[in-house]
Amino acid sequence: MQPTHKSTLPLALVGVGQQVRLVHIAAHARLAHRLTELGLAPGVALEIAQDAGSNLILAVGDTRLALSRGTAHTIHVALEPL
């Protein structure tokens, strides 16, 4: 597992409407590969569109993705300045 930068936080802790940039995926190789296939790769800008309790709906460009909160904890992001 790669260490995270000080200024990153797990995606699961980001509020609805907050824009962030993906820094690192700390999941096992198979999940990290699948997330990358879905367009979640380091450098990608995304936003939490909806918090549905145990799931999060992400806006990645014009695409919407649903992730479990557990998976969202493996995705480390940096807040985008307003």
Q: Read off the CATH number of the domain in which 57 is found.
A: 2.30.30.90
pLDDT band at 1 (very low <50, low <70, confident <90, very high): very low
Domain membership flag for residue 81? no
Tracing tokens 């993705």 back to the chain, one arrives at: 65
Query: Mean pLDDT over residues 15-33, rounded?
Result: 96
pLDDT band at 81 (very low <50, low <70, confident <90, very high): confident
Tracing tokens 């879905």 back to the chain, one arrives at: 38
Q: How far apart are CA 16 and CA 3, in angstroms?
A: 26
Domains in the chain: how many in total? 1
How far is CA 63 from each of CA 7, 28, 40, 59, 69, rounded to the nearest angstrom? 26, 24, 11, 6, 18
Residue 58 lies in domain:
8-74
Domain membership flag for residue 69? yes
Domain membership flag for residue 80? no
What pLDDT shows up at residue 80?
Answer: 81
Domain membership flag for residue 43? yes
Domain membership flag for residue 79? no
What pLDDT shows up at residue 4?
Answer: 47
CA 80, chain centre distance (Å): 13
Is residue 27 predicted with pLDDT exceeding 90?
Answer: yes
